[in-house]
Amino acid sequence: MISDDQQARALDEALSDDDRKFLDDLADGLTQRRLASAAVFLLESVKPLGWLGAQMLLLFRPMVAVVFHDPVRWDRVQRLLEHREATELLVRRLEARF
């Protein structure tokens, strides 16, 4: 059986450079706002619901498009959350910044 660690490494290798930079920027933004520990707690709590969260983001996409004319980040978060390992990658990036 493949461990979460191995799956996370495989996904990290499969991600594009833009996606890796996006995760780093997201982690940096949360850390600058002193929300890293709260984000880690939340991400660890809802990790099993990541795919469902991605589908909810997809559901709210039309409403977000009205407010934000080009919600590229919304789409990128939605696409990344479809992979359970992406949540683990973000948690690792946040923990590295403590």
What does the DSSP assignment read for 24-79?
HHHHHHHHHTT-HHHHHHHHHHHGGGHHHHHHHHHHHHHHHHHHSS--HHHHHHHH
- Residue 1 or 7, more confident: 7
- What is the pTM for the complete model shown? 0.77
pLDDT tens digit sequence for 8-43:
778 778 888 888 899 999 999 999 999 999 999 988
